[in-house]
Structure 1
Amino acid sequence: MNPHTGPHVLMAGLAFGESPRWRDGRLWFADWGTHEIMTVDDDGEGTMVAQVDSFPFSFDWLLDGRMLISSGTDHALLSLESRTSLSVYADLKAISDKAWNEIVVASNGNAYVNSIGFDMDRDEDSDRGLIAVVSPDGQARQVADRLHFPNGMAITADGSTLIVAESYGNKLTAFDIEQNGDLSGQRTWADLGDGSPDGICLDAEGAVWYADVPNRRCVRVEEGGKVLHTIDVDRGCFGCMLGGPDGRTLYLMAAEWPTAMTEGSRTGRVLTAKAPAPHAGRP
């Protein structure tokens, strides 16, 4: 990758793009500012897919094709029935009444969802984050805790490992996925130094791309923390996803920070860059 070739703008005028996913030949993402799930095609044309009255929220798909949405406002997982109709798939309030954030669905239908576990507007310890697993019958249970603001999550292609970004821990943390859905063997997958990881995705060479808001970049690292590639952007980078016809297009969700939290802000963009290895794993 040529470090002098910056990412290209595919779509502009978003409020606060997050949670990018590649599916059915399109990029899907959440706009937290407008409470919409959108798709964008290769020509930069956007389509609104669903309205979600929540902040934050993220999404993935169940094995039967239904979209599953983590709702921070409702403290629940919701299934999308129509553009404006959502039903409760799993109630998460008993596990945590704090904001629920990112989600990834495993190949067996188990959904992993995380909560930051604290109130960002209060002076509280930030190591209260947790991960819950929701089985296909809608039963939820906690499977990890003591995380420093868990954010993006990904599952390796062989289904054996879940990797989570700890935004306030400056690291990527890995867990072994047990047959019953439990998580074990918690360990630091990569120490990121001053890196503050948000959304993440995996590639076929076993590396992780992570989006970094305060450092305005997207970084590719291998296990252990060695930096392989860095893409600098001119605003905060919130999410990343590999996709495109050959899986080698890296999509970046970027917006001015903290301006993106301001009502009416439209600094959000979808950026693209070419990646050295194609997408792997989930999401």
Structure 2
Amino acid sequence: MGARELRTLVEGGSFFEGPRWHEGRWWVSDFYTHTVRAIDPETGAEEVILEVPGQPSGLGWLPDGSLIVNSMTDHRLLRRTVDGAVSVHADVTEYCGGHLNDLIVDGEGRAYAGNFGFDLMNMAHPEPTSLVRVDPDGTVHREGEHLWFPNAMMISGNLLIVAETFGGGFTEFTIEPDGSLIDQRIWGQVAPRVAPGSVEEMLPNLGYAPDGCTLDAAGHIWAADGLGGPTCRIAPGGDIVDEIELPEGLAVFACQLGGHDGRELLLCAAPDFLEVSRRDAREAVLLTTTVEVSAHAHA
């Protein structure tokens, strides 16, 4: 466990998030340069696809090829068509506590998005929140309840799994034919849930804080640990079965399986996640390594 070779693909980012593999390239958001970039998996050559003044995060694609991007600080989903035209797909301000965060788009073009639930960067008191579902026509629906910092999501068939960063594990839903989420339940609890309190009270006791994550073909999840621990492969139920350690001074905050054989794991790494530290620094990197089990088909 943990003895894999890491290759540096890109250096000099501010804070990379929302990694995706799409049409033969890696795609990432870079928070504080306010850009969405597509990256050649061999050379690391970058193309700026879109500038998002409201800070980009989660990425996904509609069936017609349009890119959907979460704009975090103004709580909007942006839509960039294949010809480059950009519009507001939905404004979900009334459903958000704190920043809009990650998203996933299903095969029907429905986008599911999470939000912080509270103002993390100013250490406001944590509060639970819910997901939002944005249908292809831009209509918005609240989904789920009492989620502690819902983060990255994965879809397998009619199941949606979401990481709860302040919940120490993963929650699963069944997706109804109309896209609504039912039967909220635990997919895997990696660390015990902690009692609600202030950020200063909760963070030291979390034990594990699943951040950006990706589902493999065996139904296991590779997940970054927002507390700075190793990137872990997690079995259904919550047991850690593999780990990837990073060089000292770096932590991973998101990861994604992809590459031409689905076995490349992209790691979004930085010294920490704090805006005050990352906003003006250019210390974020993208690393890759090879794993044994390829990406789940939806990824």
Fold shared by both chains (TM-score > 0.5): yes
* Matching of residues 60-99 of structure 1 within 5 Å: 60-81=60-81, 86-96=86-96, 98-99=98-99
Q: Taking structure 1 as reference, are residues 149 and 259 closer, same or farther at Cα in structure 2, changes over 3 Å only?
A: closer
Question: Separation in 2 of the partners of 1:61 and 1:84?
Answer: 14
CA contact (8 A) 1:19 1:239 kept: yes
| Aligned residue pairs, count | 279
Which 4+ residue blocks in structure 1 deviate beyond 6 angstroms? none
CA displacement at 1:81 relative to structure 2: 4.5
Tell me the residue number matched to 1:165: 163
Q: Which amino acid in structure 1 is aligned with residue 26 of structure 2? A: L
Q: What SS class does the counterpart of residue 47 from structure 2 fall into?
A: strand
CA displacement at 1:4 relative to structure 2: 2.5
SS for the counterpart of 1:181 is coil
Q: CA deviation at 1:263?
A: 3.0
Residues 188, 266 of structure 1: alpha-carbon distance in 2 compared, 3 angstrom cutoff: same
CA contact (8 A) 2:97 2:118 kept: no
Q: Which residue of 2 aligns with 1:175?
A: 173
- The structure carrying a bigger helix percent of its residues is 2
Deviation, structure 1 residue 122: 4.6
Q: Distance in 2 between matches of 1:101 and 1:83?
A: 26
Distance in 2, Cα, partners of 1:200 & 1:125 = 22
Q: Tell me what 2:284 maps to.
A: 268
Structure 2 SS opposite 1:94 = helix
Give ranges in structure 2 of 5+ residues lacking alignment. Answer: 192-206
CA distance in 2, matches of 1:24, 1:61: 11
AA partner of residue 29 (structure 2): A
| Cα distance in 2 between the residues matched to 1:218 and 1:108 | 31
SS of match in other structure, 2:137: coil
Taking the aligned partners of 2:130 and 2:123, their CA distance within structure 1 comes to 18
Identity of aligned pairs, percent?
A: 33
Alpha carbons of structure 1 residues 83 and 228: separation in structure 2 relative to 1, 3 Å: farther
Q: In the alignment, is the contact (CA less than 8 A) between 2:30 and 2:56 conserved in 1? A: no
Shift in Å, 1:118: 1.6
Q: Tell me the residue number matched to 1:36.
A: 35
Quote the offset at 1:170 in angstroms.
Answer: 0.7
Which residue identity lines up with residue 11 of structure 1 in the other structure?
Answer: V
RMSD of aligned Cα (Å): 1.9
Name the amino acid aligned to 1:76: R
Where is the strand percentage greater, Structure 1 or Structure 2? 1
Amino acid at match of 1:45: A
1:10 counterpart residue number = 9
Instruction: Structure 1: state its 5+ residue gaps.
Output: none
Q: Does 1:125 align with 2:126?
A: yes
Q: Which amino acid in structure 2 is aligned with residue 111 of structure 1?
A: A
Q: Secondary structure at the match of 2:32?
A: coil
C-alpha deviation, 1:97, in angstroms: 5.7
Partner Cα distance (2:226, 2:110) in 1: 29
2:232 alignment partner AA: V
Q: Deviations over 1:174-230 (max 9, x none)?
A: 111111111111111111122211101111111111111323321111101121210
AA in 1 matched with 2:79: S
Residues 1:218 and 2:217 are matched in the alignment: no
1:258 CA drift (Å)? 4.2
**Residues 115 and 53 (structure 1), Cα distance of their counterparts in 2 relative to 1, 3 Å cut:** same
Contact 1:29 1:38 in 2 (8 A): yes
Q: Note closer, same or farther for the CA distance 1:191–1:105 as it changes in structure 2 (3 Å cut).
A: same
SS of 1:33's equivalent? helix
TM-score by length of 1: 0.92
Correspondence list, 1:230-241, <5 A = 230-234=243-247, 235-241=250-256
1:203 aligns with 2:216: yes
Provide the C-alpha distance between the structure 1 equivalents of 2:177 and 2:82, rounded to a whole number of angstroms: 33
CA distance in 2, matches of 1:248, 1:262: 29
Note the C-alpha offset of 1:169.
0.8
CA deviations 1:111-156 (Å, max 9, x no partner) are: 11112222222542332x2101111111111011211111111111
Contact 1:16/1:32 (8 A) holds in 2? yes
